[in-house]
Amino acid sequence: TIMIIGTLITVSSNSWLGAWMGLEINLLSFIPLLSDNNNSMSTEASLKYFLTQALASTVLLFSSILLMLKNNMNTEINESFTSMIIMSALLLKSGAAPFHFWFPNMMEGLTWINSLILMTWQKIAPLMLISYLNMKNLLLITVILSVIVGAMGGLNQTSLRKLMAYSSINHLGWMLSSIMISESIWLIYFLFYSFLSFILTFMFNIFKLFHMNQLFSWFVNSKILKFSMFMNFLSLGGLPPFLGFLPKWLVIQQLTMCNQYFLLTVMMMSTLITLFFYLRICYSAFMLNYYENNWMMKMNMNSTNMNL
């Protein structure tokens, strides 16, 4: 409840100090959710999260004080410079490239429910604040880096949580590009992305799936469940005619209207790479319908030999 209140304070505040306060409340309420006594990885993840978010919050507070000095005391401070510092702090908070390094490593130590909160709810406040700033050039660089990092990072992943983290970075690039052109399109994109992420993480959580090989040996008998699961995978990648393509279509349309052809080309190329590794997973999962993993069979054979 406090985490939700923190985000609402940030979204509804009319000063940078109020926004900072909401972000701090949000951070301090999310950390107890992360730390699990039975798992040392989650404790490490909560510490990583605290350090990165505290750094971003400090930078945000520092730059908002600079802005206050400029407005109240007529101090000679370059406003675009302070806006750039604020933007960098908010991008670090949301986990966009080139400030993304903490994000996949941290996701690896979380449960699926915490991962979902981190990928969706925790992005609302920073992205809302980014939409208030008019920093097109910095956003442009961040969008290009985010979509490329999100596409390249997911190529050789065997961990599903890391795969979802890099996918999230890629989608964040699309969200930031939609912030540049229209706030309503950003909200539509965010809602669609949250919905698809919720479905996938919910299924991963129910069946306790964390790695790629679990997908291959999963639901050999129930083909319908497996098929619906991978349809959601492809939808998250943005393959037409699935649901996930609709928000991307809206962003593509708006970017072409704004003549942002170079940006659009980079984004679409990166999405094709993400679709490539999603399709590769789906193809392998449908082809490799084995009941038991190889090492399990070897172990069984060894035990029968010993019995003989």
Per-residue pLDDT tens over the stretch 95-120? 999 999 999 999 999 999 999 999 99
Q: Where are the domains of the chain?
A: 1-287
- The pLDDT value recorded for residue 213 is 82
Name the residue with tokens 């880096």. 145
| Residue range 173-178: mean pLDDT, rounded | 96
Mean pLDDT, the chain, rounded, equals 89
Per-residue pLDDT tens over the stretch 18-32? 999 999 999 999 999
Name the residue with tokens 């393509």. 245
Q: What is the CA radius of gyration of the chain?
A: 21
Which has the closest alpha carbon to 27: 53, 52, 56? 53
Whether the upstream peptide bond of residue 104 has omega within 30° of 0, thus cis, is no
Using the predicted structure, report yes or no on whether residue 53 has a pLDDT greater than 90. Answer: yes
Using the predicted structure, report yes or no on whether residue 222 has a pLDDT greater than 80. Answer: no
| Residue range 184-207: mean pLDDT, rounded | 95
Q: How many CA atoms lie within 13 Å of 181's alpha carbon, on the beta-carbon side?
A: 23
Using the predicted structure, report yes or no on whether residue 177 has a pLDDT greater than 90. Answer: yes
- Reading phi first (left if > 0) and then psi (alpha if -120 to 50, else beta), residue 96 is in beta
pTM above 0.95?
Answer: no
- The pLDDT value recorded for residue 214 is 84
The residues near 271 (Cβ < 8 Å, ≥ 6 apart) are 147, 151, 170, 237, 238, 248
- The pLDDT value recorded for residue 35 is 82
- Look up residue 134 and give its two tokens: 């008019």
- The pLDDT value recorded for residue 307 is 53
Helix, strand or coil, per DSSP, at residue 198: helix
Helices (H) and strands (E) counted in the chain, each on its own, are 15, 0
